[in-house]
């Protein structure tokens, strides 16, 4: 039983539920603490088709199909003599085979890996051992280094740009450097103007927590600009339950720019000494507490300003991007940490000064 009288959780808590850690743990929230996402942001979720089959498949261009399980999506391309699958998220899993069989008798002959992450290509083995697997050199290197029987490494790899021509259907693959992770590529079909850019922009929704766990935040933000250089009508993001367009990418980029600017401002404004000075001589070794409070203060500085900011039409980020109220604190922390490490560092110790200064009394 939960001991907190204000707790929103069910009275018979599961055995694994930990709620008594206090400041040693993270706080729980209630659904009512956040806005209800509008129906238009939930795409194919809650549709009859999805509830019956567990997935939706839709032709979004000539021979190009989008498959979604709701929170994960991928695509495949019919070439007239074989199907090219782009990603195979385990959340869609064997339903991807059903989706392909629902639309064509052509066998799957190729699979393109957007990046090496298990949540997007962790069902790559469903196509059997004989197909051609294509991806970036880094994807191959990472999958050879961290082997997974369900993610056989791509053996046809490239460094910068590659055109995959399957039965005359051209698919442009491009790597513009590390963003969300190393080896994450853009997959573009010039004729129907469809772009798959996985784990960057999420149409209608805020980016997932910690800026989608992006290894390199500067590269991740640059990727929005790289997407906008393409002439595309439809973008596939790998997530949420719908495809998007240019306006979604512009909106996602604006959110990230706001976040980066406020992270820089917080790093220049919030004073670590304020917390360090609270340590008594007996507690002077409690550096980790100082760091904890400093980062909490920086994160709250950014989160409050992000959530209060309004666009020229008077809309807040939570009104523009679903989930912004839930995720912004996590994205704020990530933006702070990555800005601190990737951008110019404000301040260094001058000759003769001592770091850290003696704050305690
Ligand atoms: Zn990923
Ligand atoms: Zn993802």
Q: What is the mean pLDDT of the chain?
A: 94
- pLDDT-based confidence at residue 6 (cuts at 50, 70, 90): low
- pLDDT-based confidence at residue 359 (cuts at 50, 70, 90): confident
The full DSSP string for 54-98 is: S-EEEEEETTEEEEE-SSBEEEEEE-SS-EEEE---TTTTTHHHH
Q: What is the pLDDT of residue 12?
A: 82
CA 99/CA 60 separation, integer angstroms: 14
Q: Which ligand is nearest to the CA of 207?
A: 2
Ligand 2 centroid to residue 191 C-alpha, Å: 26
Residues 227 and 286 in one domain: no
- 35 belongs to a structural domain: no
Ligand 1 centroid to residue 260 C-alpha, Å: 21
Q: What are the pLDDT digits (tens) for 200-237?
A: 999 999 999 999 999 999 999 999 999 999 999 999 99
Average pLDDT over residues 96-101: 98
Q: Report residue 178 as tokens.
A: 């590390």
Q: Which ligand is nearest to the CA of 118?
A: 1
Range of the domain at 115: 40-244
* Sheet hosting strand 186-189, strand order edge to edge: 161-166, 169-174, 186-189, 194-197, 234-236
Residues 271 and 205 in one domain: no
Question: How far are the Cα atoms of 112, 222, 253 from residue 189, in angstroms, in the given order?
Answer: 13, 21, 23
Which residues does 329 contact at the CB level (< 8 Å), separation at least 6?
299, 300, 303
What SS3 state is found at 117?
Answer: coil
CA 89/CA 230 separation, integer angstroms: 25
Ligand 1 centroid to residue 117 C-alpha, Å: 5
Backbone angles phi, psi at 18, to 5 degrees: -105, 120
- 1 belongs to a structural domain: no
Residues 88 and 187 in one domain: yes
- 152 belongs to a structural domain: yes
Ligand 1 centroid to residue 178 C-alpha, Å: 12
Domain end marker among 244, 274, 299: 244
Ligand 2 centroid to residue 122 C-alpha, Å: 11
Q: What is the pLDDT of residue 8?
A: 57
Ligand 1 centroid to residue 9 C-alpha, Å: 31
Residues 182 and 214 in one domain: yes
- pLDDT-based confidence at residue 5 (cuts at 50, 70, 90): low
Q: Kindly give the residue spans of alpha helices, DSSP state H, lying in 122-216.
A: 137-145, 209-213
* Number of domains into which the chain is organized: 2
Residues 189 and 58 in one domain: yes
Question: How far are the Cα atoms of 12, 23, 178, 220, 329 from residue 18, in angstroms, in the given order?
Answer: 13, 13, 37, 34, 22
CA 174/CA 189 separation, integer angstroms: 12
Ligand 1 centroid to residue 38 C-alpha, Å: 26
CA 177/CA 219 separation, integer angstroms: 7
Q: What are the pLDDT digits (tens) for 139-178?
A: 999 999 999 999 999 999 999 999 999 999 999 999 999 9
Average pLDDT over residues 240-244: 95
Residues 225 and 262 in one domain: no
Q: Which ligand is nearest to the CA of 114?
A: 1
Confidence check: pLDDT of 345 > 90: no
Ligand 1 centroid to residue 212 C-alpha, Å: 7
Ligand 1 centroid to residue 181 C-alpha, Å: 7
Residues 199 and 57 in one domain: yes
Q: What is the pLDDT of residue 360?
A: 67
Confidence check: pLDDT of 1 > 70: no
Beta bridge partners of 58: 66
- Tokens 């994450």 correspond to 184
Dihedral angle over CA of 136, 138, 139, 141, nearest 10: 130
Confidence check: pLDDT of 2 > 60: no
Ligand 1 centroid to residue 162 C-alpha, Å: 21
Ligand 1 centroid to residue 280 C-alpha, Å: 44
Ligand 1 centroid to residue 30 C-alpha, Å: 28
Ligand 2 centroid to residue 282 C-alpha, Å: 46
Confidence check: pLDDT of 4 > 90: no
Dihedral angle over CA of 10, 15, 16, 20, nearest 10: 70
Q: What is the pLDDT of residue 354?
A: 82
Give the CATH number for residue 206. 3.60.15.10
- Tokens 């019956």 correspond to 52
Q: What are the pLDDT digits (tens) for 69-78?
A: 998 999 999 9
- 23 belongs to a structural domain: no
Residues 65 and 197 in one domain: yes
Q: Which ligand is nearest to the CA of 208?
A: 2
Residues 89 and 167 in one domain: yes
Backbone angles phi, psi at 355, to 5 degrees: -125, 130
- Ramachandran bin of 213, using left for φ above 0, alpha for ψ from -120 to 50, beta for the remaining angles: left
Residues 236 and 263 in one domain: no
Q: What are the pLDDT digits (tens) for 46-61?
A: 899 899 999 999 999 9
Ligand 1 centroid to residue 198 C-alpha, Å: 7
């Amino acid at each position: 039983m939960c001991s907190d009288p204000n707790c929103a959780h069910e009275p018979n808590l599961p055995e694994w539920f930990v709620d008594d850690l206090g400041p040693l743990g993270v706080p729980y929230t209630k659904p009512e603490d956040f806005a209800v996402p509008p129906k238009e942001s939930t795409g194919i979720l809650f549709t009859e088709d999805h509830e019956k089959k567990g997935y939706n498949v839709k032709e979004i261009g000539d021979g190009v199909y989008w498959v979604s399980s709701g929170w994960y999506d991928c695509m495949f391309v019919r070439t007239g003599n074989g199907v090219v699958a782009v990603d195979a998220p385990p959340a869609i899993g064997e339903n991807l085979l059903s989706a392909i069989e629902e639309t064509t008798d052509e066998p799957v002959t190729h699979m393109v890996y957007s990046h090496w992450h298990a949540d997007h290509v962790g069902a790559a083995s469903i196509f059997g051992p004989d197909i051609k697997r294509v991806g970036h050199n880094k994807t191959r290197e990472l999958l050879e280094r961290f082997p997974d029987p369900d993610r056989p490494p791509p053996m046809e790899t490239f460094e910068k740009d590659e055109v995959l021509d399957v039965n005359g259907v051209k698919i442009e693959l491009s790597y513009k450097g590390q963003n969300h992770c190393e080896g994450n590529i853009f997959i573009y079909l010039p004729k129907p103007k469809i772009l798959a850019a996985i784990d960057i922009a999420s149409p209608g929704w805020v980016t997932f927590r910690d800026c989608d766990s992006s290894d390199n935040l500067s590269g991740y933000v640059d990727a929005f600009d790289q997407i906008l250089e393409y002439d595309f009508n439809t973008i596939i993001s790998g997530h949420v339950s719908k495809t998007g367009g240019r306006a979604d990418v512009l909106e996602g980029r604006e959110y990230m720019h706001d976040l980066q600017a406020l992270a820089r401002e917080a790093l220049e404004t919030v004073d670590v000494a304020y917390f360090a000075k609270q340590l008594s001589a007996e507690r002077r070794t409690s550096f980790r507490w100082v760091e904890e409070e400093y980062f909490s203060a920086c994160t709250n500085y950014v989160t409050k300003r992000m959530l209060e900011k309004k666009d020229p039409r008077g809309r807040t980020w939570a009104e523009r991007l679903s989930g912004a109220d839930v995720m912004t604190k996590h994205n704020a922390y990530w933006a702070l940490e990555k800005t601190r490490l990737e951008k110019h560092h404000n301040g260094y110790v001058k000759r003769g000064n001592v770091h850290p200064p003696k704050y305690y009394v």
